[in-house]
A and B are shown apart, each in its own frame.
Chain A
């Protein structure tokens, strides 16, 4: 029963992963990423991690992919793959490196002799929001607080990145007031 769900969704995740790295347009990559993320959410459900599966759908498939799509739409004039220089040997080398890395991971999996089954059946309530929250607010309290600090830093960083360039640009324009517009337009149409 679980295998009947695992095989198609694992295949979907792999197909989506291929789509992310192989599709020509960024928007197709984003939609393939969405496919990977939702397939992984199903696998999390199979593994008894209900809360993580919900988080995956809400945060990854909801917020992060939408943010990617926003930026792709915003920059749509330049999202095609640019002509990379010296691409052929570089691409083959990268693929070989990734294949070697996969072989290393595979040998690690084999060497651990991980038992074929998934161990004991999880206790009742394993992976629910209650269990995650209970662990979060007891043993992982300090990392939880640090995560809030990281989120705050991320918000401030995004605002600074969006606003800081404005002040720089105003400064540069006031410094070279009479020839400010022409070079910028040239740079944008180039």
Chain B
């Protein structure tokens, strides 16, 4: 039997890895994949706690997270393609119109 904290610590590790990716990488696509990594680590925590509490609610939360992540990927990738079309770059440092 795997203890519950093992799943929680694995989720925390994956979330921290995704956080490093978001902060360090400058390629918009890789930053986006890091966000997916963070979402998945939270999903793992949800499922582990759902099993721990013997309640389905955590799995339903994962269901809705997957739905929202799918929409997010579709719209986000469309935005990235659009930025590439107009500026010929996927470097986040070059997309700073709103930085002021």
Closest to A21 in B: B21
Q: A2-B2, A71-B29, A132-B63 are in contact. Are A114 and B52 (CB under 8 A)?
A: yes
Q: Are A6 and B51 in contact (CB under 8 A)?
A: no
Among A47, A71, A90, A154, the residue within 8 A (CB) of B80 is A71
Shortest beta-carbon distance from B93 to chain A in Å: 6
Contacts of A135 in B (CB 8 A): 56-57, 60
Q: Are B24 and A143 in contact (CB under 8 A)?
A: no
Shortest beta-carbon distance from A107 to chain B in Å: 10
Closest to B25 in A: A21
Chain B interface size, under 10 / 10 to 19 / 20 to 34 / 35 or more: 35 or more
Within 8 A of A (CB), among B36-81: 36-37, 40, 43-44, 47-48, 50-54, 56-57, 59-60, 62-64, 66-75, 77-81
Shortest beta-carbon distance from A49 to chain B in Å: 5
Q: Are A64 and B36 in contact (CB under 8 A)?
A: yes
Contacts of A97 in B (CB 8 A): 19, 23
Within 8 A of A (CB), among B5-36: 5-10, 12-21, 23-27, 29-30, 32-34, 36
B98 in the interface (beta carbon within 8 A):
no
Closest to A6 in B: B2
* Per-residue contact bits, chain A 110-140, to B (CB 8 Å; 1 contact, 0 not): 1000111111101100110001100110001
Q: Are B78 and A119 in contact (CB under 8 A)?
A: no
Q: Are B40 and A105 in contact (CB under 8 A)?
A: no
- Taking chain A's interface residues, is the majority helix, strand, or loop, or is none over half, making it mixed? helix
Q: Are A79 and B29 in contact (CB under 8 A)?
A: yes
Q: Are B51 and A26 in contact (CB under 8 A)?
A: no
B3 in the interface (beta carbon within 8 A):
yes
Q: Are A20 and B33 in contact (CB under 8 A)?
A: yes
Contacts of B89 in A (CB 8 A): 78, 82
Closest to A148 in B: B67
Q: Are A190 and B77 in contact (CB under 8 A)?
A: no
Q: A52-B62, A79-B90, A99-B16 are in contact. Are A151 and B71 (CB under 8 A)?
A: yes
Closest to A80 in B: B27
Q: Are A33 and B16 in contact (CB under 8 A)?
A: no
Contacts of A37 in B (CB 8 A): 40
The 5 closest A-B pairs by CB, nearest first: A154-B71, A94-B23, A21-B21, A105-B12, A82-B91
What residues make up the interface of A, taking CB atoms closer than 8 Å to B? 2-3, 6, 10, 13-14, 17-18, 20-21, 26, 29-30, 33, 36-37, 40, 43-44, 46-49, 51-52, 55-56, 59-60, 63-64, 67-68, 71-72, 74-75, 78-82, 84-85, 90-91, 94-95, 97-99, 101-102, 105-106, 109-110, 114-120, 122-123, 126-127, 131-132, 135-136, 140, 143, 147, 150-151, 153-155, 157-158, 161-162, 165, 187-188, 190
